Structure 1
Amino acid sequence: MSPFPAAAAPDELHRNFIETGRADHMRHATLEGTRRSTEPRTLDDYHPPPTASPTLPNPGVAAAVLALTAVVTLTALLGPSLVANDMGMTMSMNMTHYMELLAVHQPRNLIIFMAIPVVLAETLAITELAILYMRDATPAWVRTTSRVAGLLAGPVMVSIFLHLLVNAVIPLTLTGSWRGPADVIAVLFYLSGVIPLAGITLVELGVIGTGEGRALKLHAILIAIFLVVAHVAMIFGMLDPAILGYQMTHQH
């Protein structure tokens, strides 16, 4: 019998070599990770998440919206006044100009100044909730409805803003005919709705809020702003002006 131990089989030597190399690699990785965790980080170590690619405006859609805006703007500025009170009185009841605007020329004024903007805003709000909830699973018709409402909201509210500015706000200011704080708050908050609705149209055109994520976020914020200012206008518009100190007068 040989006094020396038997030599290991080739397969066993190969397996031991692999296991030894693997253990050395793991120790090296552990030491490297420890070294990196204790070293100060540099700008090269930070990799910001990729940003969404910007959404370029569709020239055809932009031209159509621009043409629509021009038409409704000219109509609002050059057309007949929709705020004139046929009863020939400065004030028919103890109400704000906001309520009087909706009360006269029924149902025309109610449709133009209340129904159309509110329907567009509510459509945007409902479809926005669906898009936020379903994301990629959102049906195409929901996205189309939201887009059409968003493209129409801006031109509609711009025309309303200009018409009331020329035929109501400026004359009331020049003649001092405001009916107290409630009247001013109601009308000005109503007109301020032009900012979020016009902003939504710009988002739909890709002018602001480019990128799907940013557009969706800005869209939701603008809808929320419009709903807030619209409801403030409604609350103060339905308020009796006398509550905030206005004294009702009749002028024939």
Structure 2
Amino acid sequence: MVATAPEVSRGTEGPGTPSGRAGLRLAVVIAVSVAIGIVALLLPAWPAGEDMGSTHYMGLLAANQPWNLLIFMAVPVICAETVAVTELVILFSPQRAGRTVRALNRYVGLFAGFYFLGIFVYLLDNAVIPLTQSGGWRGPADVIAVGFYLLGVVPLYGMSLLETRVLGAGWDEQHRLKIHATFVGIFLVVAHIAMIAGMLDPTVAGWDPTHEMDDGSQMEGMTH
């Protein structure tokens, strides 16, 4: 009788296997994302500043100076531009892209997506839903400004998924960098569209700031 070696179960996937590591990464990313969302939902709404009749995008940045400007504009834009510059160095001068440049590109990209996810959830809860329920949008320019600003979560969070290898784990480095650069470009486009629409006087796009009283008269300058 010939002794045979015991068969190794190919279906067993431990934490050390590629599929096991991928599952662990996905679980960690989901846990961190959920935690960020919960914290954002628990944060109190910051008091709004003086209503100047502008878009809510501009009102958000103008209120609570300089904190709103730093939190909602400076941090995500600086992160995106940092990633963009380091990405160009890595793509076009890989021999000059040292460890510091690559680390900066990776960790800033990783941070930006999770950071903006918190911004997205916070503004969805404290701005988008209340404005939609109350009919407080100030015309198309207002919707475009806020909508395109929040769309920034797609490319920024996509970058974080790339950096954690939840997205594109099987891609080669060059392909991953190209997708990474595409995400950066998309964010800069939507951010600038939001900025342009946000700076526009909402009355130019058709918003009427007058408020009709119960007796049929109109009061100028009343905003929703």
TM-score (norm 2): 0.78
> Following the alignment from structure 1 to structure 2, what is the Cα–Cα distance between the partners of residues 204 and 109?
27
> Following the alignment from structure 1 to structure 2, what is the Cα–Cα distance between the partners of residues 65 and 140?
25
User: Moved runs in structure 1, 4+ residues, more than 4 A?
Assistant: 56-68
Larger of the two Rg values belongs to structure:
1
- 1:131-170 pair list within 5 angstroms: 131-170=90-129
Pairing 1:221–2:189 present: no
- Indicate the residue corresponding to 2:77 in structure 1: 118
- For structure 2, the 5+ residue unaligned runs are 1-17, 210-220
SS of 2:203's partner is helix
- Indicate the residue corresponding to 2:54 in structure 1: 95
2:48 to 85, 89, 111: 85
- 1:166-245 pair list within 5 angstroms: 166-209=125-168, 210-245=171-206
**Partner deviation per Cα, 1:46-96 (whole Å, 9 max, x = no partner):** xxxxxxxx9x978998777666544432221111113x3255xxxx11210
1:241 partner amino acid: P
RMSD: 2.4
1:97 partner amino acid: H
1:188 Cα shift? 0.1
1:145 Cα shift? 0.3
Q: Against the structure 1 CA distance between its residues 208 and 62, is the aligned structure 2 distance closer, same or farther, given a 3 Å change threshold?
A: closer
2:59 partner amino acid: E
Q: Against the structure 1 CA distance between its residues 117 and 145, is the aligned structure 2 distance closer, same or farther, given a 3 Å change threshold?
A: same
Check whether the contact 2:61–2:69 (CA below 8 A) recurs between aligned residues: yes
Q: Against the structure 1 CA distance between its residues 234 and 148, is the aligned structure 2 distance closer, same or farther, given a 3 Å change threshold?
A: same
TM-score (norm 1): 0.70
Check whether the contact 1:58–1:205 (CA below 8 A) recurs between aligned residues: no
1:105 Cα shift? 1.0
1:215 partner amino acid: R
Number of residue pairs the alignment of both structures matches:
193
> Following the alignment from structure 2 to structure 1, what is the Cα–Cα distance between the partners of residues 158 and 223?
40
Check whether the contact 1:151–1:200 (CA below 8 A) recurs between aligned residues: yes
SS of 1:145's partner is helix
> Following the alignment from structure 1 to structure 2, what is the Cα–Cα distance between the partners of residues 160 and 111?
12
Check whether the contact 1:103–1:110 (CA below 8 A) recurs between aligned residues: yes
2:48 partner amino acid: N
Pairing 1:250–2:222 present: yes
> Following the alignment from structure 2 to structure 1, what is the Cα–Cα distance between the partners of residues 223 and 173?
55
2:36 to 56, 72, 76: 72
1:214 Cα shift? 1.4
